[in-house]
């Protein structure tokens, strides 16, 4: 009907056939209802929906704001925790680095005492000091390795080699300890295991930890077996691997602790065995707490080969919970895995496997190191003296005589070493250690060290790496960039033993890198080697004409750095500009170079093995030889032009240098 919803009255008035209408019309009420979507309930529903939508929108916005605030809070908390962890790790890393300086002042004096005394009691106490210092150093090294792995700074040094040979070497190093403790140590190497790429240092460290634990927790009369074999199942059947097992007949590990023995700082504490009546309460292995009345079992100490052990009661041995965690991290870093099987009272078997990576054509095998002092470990080096390797080094053997410490800087035979170290005790110790063979100068920080190096021009610089203000890197960079000091060999002495630190130091121009704690004999050998190498290079290139030595061609002096060449070029330029001035002495030349006489003398001596007077005279004679060959004048004229006012002296000096008189050129 197209009528709007509502109530309508329909009236009808009719007429008959003759045209008569009825007086009252007929009415009919018609109610047209709206469609359901326009009904009152619908409008109520619409209102409710609007209210609900508004409420939901408000709720969504509130939740969105809350979620945004929560996410921001969680992000801030994550960053805070991360910053705290980084701060803790940095603090921990710096503290452990700082341990190396006092360790240097403990280890070396102990070694000296053992070398200088014959009293058995004193030697025993000194040996105990050295042993415990090495134990502390071992723990510091493992903690630093864990920190590097945590920050993903631990790299691999893969080498193509025989794993069996590396395992055998580590095995042999434990034989004396096993024999001393009455433990039968055996080795079984599988056949037909080809050489492959692996990291020998990290593999040795893992095997060291496992073997030391096995020996610590195996009683006298027990057995420790080491085996090496190839196995495809260890890698899930996807590749060939080598499996190294260390099996012992020790006290075992409780089942509840097996899943946790590779956790950092975890130490076993479980009641697994009843104690015999009257037996003393034993200490839980790897813990500082005594066992409860129920009993103890093994533990796994994880601190390496230097831990204390009671050979009659291995369960009393305590550990730190570091070594096994580090071993697991290192194995996984190399793409392998590690596992343990154990039964209380019967022993444990630790196994770790490494993927056998073949050598590709792009991989170049590293050259074998010579069996020399510098390729040995610190402990191996301590068994030798420098004279065993370098009998001709000044200061060792028959030629080593006490030098006059009051001699002037640069006196013949008095090599000068500058020590830059902020730790007073360590600086004094190094000075005491080398003062019998070197004239020693000191600086307490990097800035002072740079100034003293420029002022004194020493033969060698020993610099600490971590110092307030300018650190060792800055010192090395500054010295190598300065033309006065560019030739001076620099040894960086540091607690940072990572490869990245070493590479950075070498990139800054360091000639050698020695980590704390160091062996003083090794330091002396390295110092003498650097100076001796400079002397040999100087003697070889010193025979070249000065023009050839200063050239940048292949025939030039490769041992001269660019700042060194620039210094000689400037000095030659000053000489050329004053060639005819026979009244100009060394002092005047030094002033024109804007340096002191002693700096000029020591710099020229270091580069050319000549003092300033001889260098100036020889240069004038070389220029005279060039002029005579080019027939640029009479002998007396040329002598005057190169700064010789006395013709007779010129002829004598010329003949002494070239073997013929100037008139015969």
Domain boundaries, the chain: 6-36, 41-151, 159-267+320-355, 416-538, 546-658
Q: What is the mean pLDDT of residues 557-561?
A: 64
The whole-number pLDDT of residue 72 equals 92
SS3 category, 443: strand
> In this model, does residue 271 exceed pLDDT 50?
no
pLDDT above 90 coverage of the chain, percent: 12
Dihedrals phi, psi of 247, to nearest 5 degrees? -115, 135
pLDDT value for 541: 59
Backbone angles phi, psi at 514, to 5 degrees: -130, 130
Give the least confident one: 367-381, 564-578, 626-640, 645-659.
367-381
Residue 656 pLDDT greater than 70, yes or no = yes
Residues paired with 230 in a beta bridge:
242
Contacts of 163 (CB under 8 A, 6+ apart): 193, 195, 196, 198, 203, 228, 242, 244, 354
Look up residue 14 and give its DSSP letter: -
Is it true that domain 159-267+320-355 has CATH number 3.90.650.10?
Answer: no
* pLDDT at position 15 over 70: yes
Distances (CA, A) of 180 to 63, 175, 221, 309, 378: 71, 9, 11, 12, 23
Sign of CA dihedral 35, 37, 38, 42: positive
Crossing angle for the helix pair 200-216 and 163-180, nearest 10 degrees?
Answer: 30
For 312, counting Cβ atoms within 10 Å of its Cβ (0-12 exposed, 13-18 middle, 19+ buried), the class is exposed
Distance (Å, whole) CA 473 – CA 446:
9
Q: Please give the CATH topology (third level) of the domain spanning 416-538.
A: Rossmann fold (3.40.50)
**3-class DSSP state for residue 592?**
helix
At 435-448, the pLDDT tens digits run 888 889 999 888 99
121, pLDDT greater than 70: yes
| 508: CB partners within 8 A, 6+ apart | 473, 476, 477, 480
CA angle 327, 302, 177 (to 5 degrees): 100
Q: Is the pLDDT of residue 288 over 90?
A: no
Answer yes or no: are the C-beta atoms of 561 and 426 closer than 8 Å.
Answer: no
Lowest model confidence (mean pLDDT) among 367-371, 480-484, 505-509: 367-371
**Phi and psi, residue 231, nearest 5°:** -155, 130
Tell whether the model's pLDDT for residue 461 goes beyond 90.
Answer: yes
Pick the residue with more confidence: 130 or 76?
76
Split at pLDDT 50, 70, 90, the class of 59 is very high
Would you state the pLDDT for residue 333?
A: 86
Per-residue pLDDT band at 314 (split at 50, 70, 90):
low
Query: Considering only 102-106, 153-157, 234-238, 406-410, which range has the smallest mean pLDDT?
Result: 406-410
CA 519 to CA 109: how far, in whole Å? Answer: 10
Q: Please enumerate in sequence order all residues whose Cβ is within 8 A of that of 171, keeping only pairs 6 or more positions apart, or say none.
A: 185, 187, 211, 226
Higher pLDDT, 260 or 488: 488
- Predicted confidence at residue 384, as pLDDT, reads 42
563 band by pLDDT with thresholds 50, 70 and 90:
confident
Residue 530 has pLDDT above 60, yes or no: yes
What is the model's pLDDT at position 236?
52
pLDDT at 304 over 50: no
Q: 363 pLDDT band (50/70/90 cuts)? A: very low
At 340 the three-state DSSP class reads: strand
Contact yes or no for 137/110 (Cβ under 8 A): no
pLDDT of residue 514: 84
Beta-carbon contacts of residue 332 (< 8 Å; ≥ 6 apart): 338
State the Cα–Cα distance between residues 302 and 300, nearest whole angstrom: 6
CB 601 within 8 A of CB 410: yes
Q: How buried is 428 (Cβ within 10 angstroms: 0-12 exposed, 13-18 middle, 19+ buried)? A: middle
Region 61-85: what's the mean pLDDT? 90
Q: 3-state secondary structure string, 448-512?
A: HHHHHHHHHCCCEEEEECCCCCCCHHHHHHHHHHCCCCCCCCEEEEECCCCHHHHHHHHHCCCCE
Q: For residues 405 and 415, is the Cβ–Cβ distance under 8 A?
A: no
Instruction: Check residue 15 and report its DSSP letter.
Output: B
Asked if 529 contacts 511 with a C-beta cutoff of 8 angstroms, the reply is no
Residue 643 has pLDDT above 50, yes or no: yes
**Separation of alpha carbons 430 and 512, rounded Å:** 16
The CATH code that applies to domain 546-658 is: 1.10.10.60
Per CATH, is 41-151 categorized as 1.20.1260? no
pLDDT band at 364, cuts 50/70/90? very low
Contact 187, 247 (CB under 8 A): no
Q: Is 245 in a helix, a strand, or coil?
A: strand
Instruction: Provide the 10 A C-beta neighbour count for residue 185.
Output: 23
pLDDT of residue 349: 92
Q: Report d(CA 117, CA 420) in Å as an integer.
A: 31
Of residues 45 and 622, more confidence is placed in 45
| Contact partners, residue 65, CB within 8 Å, separation at least 6 | none
At residue 482, the pLDDT reads 86
Coil vs helix vs strand at 28: strand
Report CA dihedral (536, 541, 546, 550) to the nearest 10 degrees: -110
322-352 pLDDT tens trace: 778 888 888 888 888 899 998 888 889 999 9
Model pLDDT, residue 226? 92
> What is the structure's pLDDT at 361?
41
The DSSP H or E segment spanning 573 is helix 562-577
Least confident segment among 93-102, 513-522, 536-545, 643-652: 536-545
Mean pLDDT, range 470-482, rounded to an integer:
89
Give the mean model confidence (pLDDT) for residues 50-77.
93
pLDDT of residue 498: 67
What is the per-residue pLDDT for 312?
54
């Amino acid at each position: 009907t197209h009528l709007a919803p509502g109530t309508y009255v329909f009236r009808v008035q009719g007429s008959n056939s003759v045209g008569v209408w009825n007086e009252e019309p007929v009415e009919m009420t018609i109610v047209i209802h709206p469609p359901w979507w326009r009904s009152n309930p619908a409008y109520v529903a619409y209102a409710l929906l609007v209210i609900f939508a508004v409420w939901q929108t408000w709720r969504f916005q509130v939740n969105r704001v809350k979620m945004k605030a929560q996410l921001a809070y969680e992000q801030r908390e994550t960053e805070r925790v991360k910053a705290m962890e980084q701060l803790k790790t940095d603090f921990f890393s710096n503290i452990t680095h700082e341990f190396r300086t006092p360790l240097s002042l403990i280890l070396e004096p102990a070694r000296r005492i053992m070398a200088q005394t014959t009293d058995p009691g004193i030697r025993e106490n000194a040996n105990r000091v050295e042993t415990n210092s090495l134990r502390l150093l071992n723990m510091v090294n493992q903690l630093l390795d864990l920190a590097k792995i945590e920050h993903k700074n631990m790299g691999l040094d893969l080498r193509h080699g025989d794993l069996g040979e590396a395992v055998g070497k580590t095995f042999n190093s434990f034989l004396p300890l096993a024999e001393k403790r009455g433990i039968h140590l055996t080795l079984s190497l599988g056949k037909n295991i080809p050489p492959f790429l692996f990291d020998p240092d990290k593999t040795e460290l893992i095997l060291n930890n496992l073997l030391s634990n096995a020996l610590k927790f195996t009683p006298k009369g027990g057995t420790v077996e080491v085996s090496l074999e190839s196995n495809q199942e260890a890698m899930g059947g996807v590749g060939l691997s080598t499996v190294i097992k260390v099996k012992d007949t020790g006290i075992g590990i409780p089942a509840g602790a097996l899943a946790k023995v590779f956790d950092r700082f975890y130490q076993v504490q479980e009641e697994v065995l009843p104690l015999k009546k009257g037996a003393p309460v034993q200490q839980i292995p790897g813990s500082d707490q005594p066992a409860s009345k129920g009993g103890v079992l093994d533990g796994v100490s994880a601190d390496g080969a230097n831990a204390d052990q009671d050979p009659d009661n291995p369960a009393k041995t305590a550990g730190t919970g570091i070594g096994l965690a580090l071993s697991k991290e290192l194995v996984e870093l190399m793409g392998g895995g590690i596992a343990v099987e154990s039964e209380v009272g019967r022993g444990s078997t630790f196994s770790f496997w490494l993927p056998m990576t073949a050598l590709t054509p792009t991989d170049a095998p590293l050259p074998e190191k010579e069996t020399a002092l510098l390729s040995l470990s610190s402990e191996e080096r301590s068994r030798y003296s420098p004279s065993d390797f370098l009998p001709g080094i000044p200061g060792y053997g028959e030629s080593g005589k006490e030098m006059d410490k009051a001699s002037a800087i640069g006196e013949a035979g008095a090599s000068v070493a500058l020590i830059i170290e902020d730790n007073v005790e360590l600086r004094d110790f190094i000075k005491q250690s080398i003062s019998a063979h070197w004239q020693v100068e000191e600086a307490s920080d990097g800035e002072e060290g740079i100034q003293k190096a420029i002022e004194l021009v020493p033969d060698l610089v020993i610099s600490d790496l971590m110092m307030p203000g300018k650190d060792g890197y800055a010192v090395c960079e500054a010295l190598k960039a300065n033309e006065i000091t560019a030739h001076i060999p620099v040894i960086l002495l540091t607690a940072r033993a990572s490869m990245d630190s070493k590479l950075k130091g070498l990139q800054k121009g360091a000639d050698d890198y020695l980590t704390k704690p160091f062996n003083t004999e090794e330091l002396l050998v390295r110092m003498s080697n650097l100076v001796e190498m400079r002397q040999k290079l100087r003697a070889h290139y010193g025979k070249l004409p000065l023009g050839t030595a200063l050239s940048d061609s292949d025939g030039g002096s490769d041992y001269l750095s660019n700042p060194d060449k620039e210094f000689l070029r400037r000095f030659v330029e000053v000489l050329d500009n004053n060639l005819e001035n026979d009244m100009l002495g060394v002092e005047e030349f030094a002033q024109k170079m804007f340096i002191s006489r002693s700096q000029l003398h020591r710099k020229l001596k270091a580069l050319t093995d000549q003092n300033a007077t001889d260098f100036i005279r020889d240069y004038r004679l070389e220029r005279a030889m060039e002029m005579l060959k080019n027939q640029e004048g009479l002998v007396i004229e040329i002598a005057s032009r190169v700064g010789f006012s006395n013709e007779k002296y010129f002829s004598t000096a010329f003949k002494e240098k070239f073997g013929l008189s100037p008139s015969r050129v």
